[in-house]
Structure formats: C-alpha cells, structure tokens
Structure 1
Amino acid sequence: MSSDQLSVIFAALADPTRRAILAHLAKGEASVTELAKPFEMSLPAISKHLKVLERAGLITQSRKAQWRPCQIEAQPLKDAADWIEQYRQFWEESFDRLDDYLHELQTQEKQNEQ
C-alpha cells in the first residue's frame, strides 16, 4: 500500500460523520437515504461524504434498479490498522516504563513514611 493511499484513508477516517457511516455499514449494506437518516444534512452532503469514502476504497456503491446500496470494504481498514500496529510496541514500552517509574515512586514514598 502506498503512503499516499494511506493518507487518503486516514483523511477519510478523520471526519466523525464518515466514521459513523462506516459504523452503520459494518452492520450491513444500506442505501444513501438510510445512511442520511441519523444526520441533519442534505442527501447531496451525505453523497459527498460517500464519495470521499469511496475514493479511499472504504466503501463501494452498486446499483440495483433505483436503489444504490453501499457496502463497507474491509481491506483499507486493515491496511490502516496494520500501519498503526507498527507503533504498538513503542506505546507498550512507554507504558511499561511509566509503570516502573510509578512503582519506584510508591516504594520511595513508603520508605519515607517509615
């Protein structure tokens, strides 16, 4: 995956409306009208959000007669999660050092009380 595509994915995920749309689609396909219901915005505004998600590869839209169902695409989310996973070791080590430091402070505090 190119870093440019990863940037597009993260930019799409940066918006809370788009994240809410993805959460809805994680439960199954939905029409644009169904996706718009929880939001106080026009159908064209929702369509713009869907286009951003589609460009990022996070959703696909198909056509079934008059209905345009949207489906979530898992691979780009996995790509973003894999990229984030690279930094888990850093955070775990940082938390371990913080935990060690807190234990040291608690030990010193107990010694000072005695």
Structure 2
Amino acid sequence: MVVFGRISQALLRYSLSQSRQLSVSAAHGHGEKAARTWKILSFVVALPGVAVCMLNMYLKMHEHAAHHVEPEFVPYSHLRIRSKRFPWGDGNKSLFHNPEVNPLPDGYEGR
C-alpha cells in the first residue's frame, strides 16, 4: 500500500512538471505554430482523403448493385417461425424489417 502511495505521488509530481513545461512553451508561441500546421494538414490531407474514400465506396456500391442477383426464396420450415405476433405493426414484420432483403414466412413482399 505504501508503494502505491509513493508511485502515485511521483506520477503527480511528474504530471505537474509536464504541464508547467507545456504552459511555458505555449507562452513562447510554439502552440500557435503547431495548431496552424495541424489545421492546414486537416484541410489539405484529411478532408480530401475522406472525400476520395467516400467516392470509392460509392462507385463500388454501384458496381456491386449492377451484378447483384436476389436469391430465390426457399420456405424452410425451421426459419421465420412466428410463435407469437410482434407487438408492433401488423405483427408479422420484425422491428428492423427491410422488404428488399428480409422475407416474410410466405416469401418476399411484392412478389
């Protein structure tokens, strides 16, 4: 227990000395230059990088949608069992039901 107290006091003294050094360096203008550098990097590197990634995923999504074939519905007896109705809607659709992806017990909607 005594060792834990000594270690925590040493860490506290170290953190106080570090905060003093940071405040002294910020007073000399080093922080303003670093902040300006990071701001420029954010606008020049990060934002275009995010835009390129979004464009890439958009194009891949359209490429995938062009080749996507919906699977045939097979009414397996062990899937989509409804022992009691859901407490929302018509009682047959799950809470996050998607009519394009999730079939009902008797097949996809609209077909």
Is the pair's TM-score, using the shorter chain for normalization, greater than 0.5? Answer: no
More helix by share: 1
Larger radius of gyration: 2
Compute the TM-score of the two structures, normalised by the length of structure 1.
0.36
- Relative to total residues, which structure has the larger strand share, 1 or 2? 1
Greater relative contact order (Cα < 8 A, sep 6+): 1
The TM-score, its normalising length taken from structure 2, stands at 0.37
